[in-house]
Amino acid sequence: MMMTPASSISPGGLLASHFRGPSWDRWRAVLKAAFAEEMSAAEFDLFREVADRDPPREPVQELWCIVGRGGGKDSTASAIATVAAVGDYQKFLRAGEVASVICLACDREQAKICLRYIRGYFREDANLEALIVRETDDGLELVNRVEIIVATNSYRSLRGRTIICTILDEVAFFRDERSASPDEETYNALMPALERVPGSKLIGISTPYRKIGLLYRKWAESFGKADEDVLVVRGTSRQFNPLLSQGRIDRALKRDRAAASSEWLAEWRADVSDYIDRALVEELVDRGVRERVYERGKSCTAFSDEAGGSGSDASTLSIVHRQEDGVIVQDLMRIWWPPFNSAEVIAEKSNLLKAWRIREVTGDHWAGALPTQLYETHGIRVQPAAAKSSLYRDFLHILNSRRVHLLDEPTQVAQLCSLERRTAWGGRESIDHPQLANCHDDAANALAGSCVIAASVSPAWHISDDLLRQMATFVSPGSPEWMRRRGTY
């Protein structure tokens, strides 16, 4: 009989020693349903409680597991990857081609968890260890022409591969500085690669988060529905791991009901929402325009977001101008990625500001008075910025009124679309980037600040040639020339 993930974690299975006891029974039931295996009455009930449907009649191509924290997601993901990797796919591969089992995580630390589990399975089992040809920094290469790759989410690295199994680990938290929807782009890149080998699988395993993105879309489209290609299950932490302490969960719920409901009860967060609709932002982007040239007569405004250069934050500068009709046009967005010397970056920014005839820049409060002093050495004044949430609230009105033209800068768009509105106890609202690893808003902050300042300043006079000619022939009322022209004398 062909080995499946469910059989491998059942008594007597390849990985049984790592999945002992009845606490894994629900996972076994879900995996049996996904692979259309025979189920007992007890397993049927366990499955239906989290699927709200009958098991599929055929193995599904996509399995989406929305499970609370501590529910065994990483352990299960690693078991699925291991079982997929030991299969025989050579009849589907061309000369020199390898099949890939890919586990993509939301950040490096998350990826390491799954990789440690997989390496542990192979090292502790003599039969599995014999399959290893080479260990790499991010996985294993096996004698059956299969590679296991565990990495952070990147849709760019998926094209051209023959993929037999992909696991999207904590997919609700995928982030990418260059994409406003990295989970959807990853999914679109994966699907053609999964068609090359019959029976290839896409597994999404995650705690839920906001009511947007790929995981939420799959849940809305397929949960509780008799879909023969897609199976979606959703369950609390204790449903998938009854060994967890109920008291611990109750204390977390008492501290912060909204956050704990997502973490432990697998509920979508109601206190976090989108800052702006992605479609609106895309509509405001001037496609193909990465930077505009300086034109005489423009009165420009600049906002700088500073950073130290040794961490993960970038340093950014946005320059905009306001047209006579009130529309704000973004002219320049520069991003300095770390590592860098902050004093050298401020010198570069000062030269750019002077080139755009700007002698004053608004900046955030990074490092206290240090940026102000550095800018002053280059003849640039610095004005302190308002609080970030305040800038974002004011900028939202500009975006919604469509009174802005944005540059085609992917990082800026991605950061803007990932901003979150959070409502705390008492109704107090804040707007910021997601409180997750590798999430930033350096470019979005500079953009918002420059546009809000430009909107609050009256447009400067534009002295045209026409106006100069009129001024040359102007005479003051009551003057001799004025009286002569009127025929008074």
| 394-435 tens-digit pLDDT | 999 999 999 999 999 989 998 998 888 887 666 677 888 876
Start-to-end C-alpha separation, the chain: 118
Residue 239 sits in the same domain as residue 319: no
Residue 18 sits in the same domain as residue 55: yes
In a domain, 122, yes or no: yes
Task: With beta carbons less than 8 A apart as the criterion, state whether 433 and 441 touch.
Answer: yes
Residue 265 sits in the same domain as residue 283: no
In this structure, of 35-39, 58-62, 441-445, 485-489, the range with the lowest mean pLDDT score is 485-489
**Among 270, 290, 313, which residue terminates a domain?**
270
Q: Please give the Cα distance from 291 to 320 (Å, whole number).
A: 11
Question: ω into residue 339 within 30 of 0, thus cis?
Answer: yes
* Confidence label for 467 from pLDDT (cuts 50, 70 and 90): very low
Query: What pTM was computed for the model?
Result: 0.73
Q: How far is CA 468 from CA 46, 65, 160, 381, in A?
A: 83, 71, 63, 31
User: At 47, which CATH number?
Assistant: 3.40.50.300
In a domain, 81, yes or no: yes
Residue 57 sits in the same domain as residue 163: yes
Residue 175 sits in the same domain as residue 301: no
Residue 402 sits in the same domain as residue 423: yes
Residue 161 sits in the same domain as residue 245: yes
* Residue 153, SS3 per DSSP: coil
Residue 311 sits in the same domain as residue 176: no
**Among 270, 295, 314, which residue terminates a domain?**
270
Residue 204 sits in the same domain as residue 113: yes
For 189, the token pair is 């890149």
User: At 431, which CATH number?
Assistant: 3.30.420.240
pLDDT tens per residue, range 193-246: 888 899 999 999 999 988 888 999 999 999 999 999 999 999 999 999 999 999
pLDDT tens per residue, range 245-286: 999 999 999 988 888 999 999 999 877 777 888 889 999 999
Among 81, 118, 116, smallest CA distance to 100 is for 81
Q: Please give the Cα distance from 31 to 9 (Å, whole number).
A: 10
pLDDT for residue 474: 60
Q: How many CB atoms lie within 10 A of CB 426?
A: 5
> Can you give the residue range of the structural domain that contains 394?
278-456
Residue 13 sits in the same domain as residue 91: yes
Q: Please give the Cα distance from 164 to 113 (Å, whole number).
A: 21
* Residue 270, SS3 per DSSP: coil
For 171, the token pair is 């997919």
In a domain, 479, yes or no: no
Task: With beta carbons less than 8 A apart as the criterion, state whether 66 and 206 touch.
Answer: yes
Residue 166 bridge partners (DSSP): 102, 202
**Among 238, 270, 302, which residue terminates a domain?**
270
Looking at the structure of the chain, the number of domains it has is 2
Residue 15 sits in the same domain as residue 72: yes
